[in-house]
């Protein structure tokens, strides 16, 4: 089995069973493990008629390679995916309070997983990523996201610039994070339909992505440095939770 067909770790497997059980084909649990959460996962999987096998730790190591698995992994037949055509429905369902995260070319699966974790905690409507030149949701992303990859819609798109224009037509204001911008993210009104656009680890926002933002803003840093000096997942957390602060507890 390829590593991409497995998710590892207690939180990731529990989230898969809760949010996407129809695609879970098998759960492997470390034989003799005493963690009560593993017993809960076993019971939940059996209630759903999902095959559960007790195996040696070495067997689990063999299917997930170097991933830390905490004694449990699950095999996926397919990951839950969201199509570009579903974005409009997601935005309409948010009733004027859509909060989107647009990630332009994040390459590191650990960074994407951490971004998804922040997105889920912030109640983000959807996360948009390009299908090209970006890591996709794989086993490492699922593990790092602690289950968030299964609870927040991730929408891979063929042409990010075109999708951004489509979002604007749907009434979404797009704000790109760039260290050289004059305006501060804290000066924005983030209470309506908003998309926060962040670039990848090395080059930040690409030219077309910048050009399709309604405004470029920065995270003020009294200590100096550009936004690229912040890890993209840290910058994601800062900007998303500024939106959460402005919206109060009503973000969904």
Annotated binding site: 199, 219, 230
Closest-CA residue to 136 (of 67, 145, 89, 230) = 145
Q: How far apart are the first and last CA of the chain?
A: 37
Q: What count of other Cβ atoms lies within 10 Å of the Cβ of residue 12?
A: 29
Closest-CA residue to 56 (of 78, 76, 38, 29) = 29
Q: Look up residue 110 and give its DSSP letter.
A: H
> Residue written as tokens 């993210």?
185
Closest-CA residue to 148 (of 121, 111, 128, 108) = 121
- Residues belonging to the binding site for S-adenosyl-L-methionine are 199, 219, 230
Q: How far apart are CA 218 and CA 186, in angstroms?
A: 9
């Amino acid at each position: 089995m390829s590593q991409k067909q497995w998710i590892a770790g207690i939180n990731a497997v529990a989230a898969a069973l809760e949010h996407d059980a129809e695609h879970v084909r098998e759960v492997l649990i470390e034989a003799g493990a005493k963690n009560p959460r593993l017993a809960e996962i076993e019971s939940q999987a059996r209630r759903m008629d999902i095959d559960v096998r007790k195996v040696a730790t070495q067997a689990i190591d063999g299917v997930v390679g170097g991933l830390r698995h905490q004694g449990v992994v699950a095999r996926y037949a397919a990951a839950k995916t969201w199509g570009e055509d579903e974005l409009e429905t997601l935005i309409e369902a948010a009733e004027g309070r859509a909060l989107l995260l647009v990630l332009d070319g994040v390459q590191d699966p650990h960074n994407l997983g951490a971004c998804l974790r922040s997105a889920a905690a912030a109640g983000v409507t959807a996360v948009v990523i390009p299908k090209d030149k970006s890591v996709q949701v794989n086993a490492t992303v699922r593990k790092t996201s602690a289950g968030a990859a299964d609870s927040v819609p991730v929408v891979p798109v063929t042409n990010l610039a075109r999708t951004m224009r489509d979002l604007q037509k749907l009434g979404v204001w797009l704000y790109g994070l760039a260290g050289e911008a004059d305006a501060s993210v804290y000066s924005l009104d983030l209470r309506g339909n908003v998309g926060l656009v962040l670039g990848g680890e090395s080059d930040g926002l690409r030219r077309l992505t910048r050009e399709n933002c309604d405004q470029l803003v920065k995270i003020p840093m009294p200590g100096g440095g550009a936004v690229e000096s912040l890890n993209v997942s840290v910058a994601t957390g800062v900007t998303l939770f500024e939106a959460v602060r402005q919206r109060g507890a009503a973000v969904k």
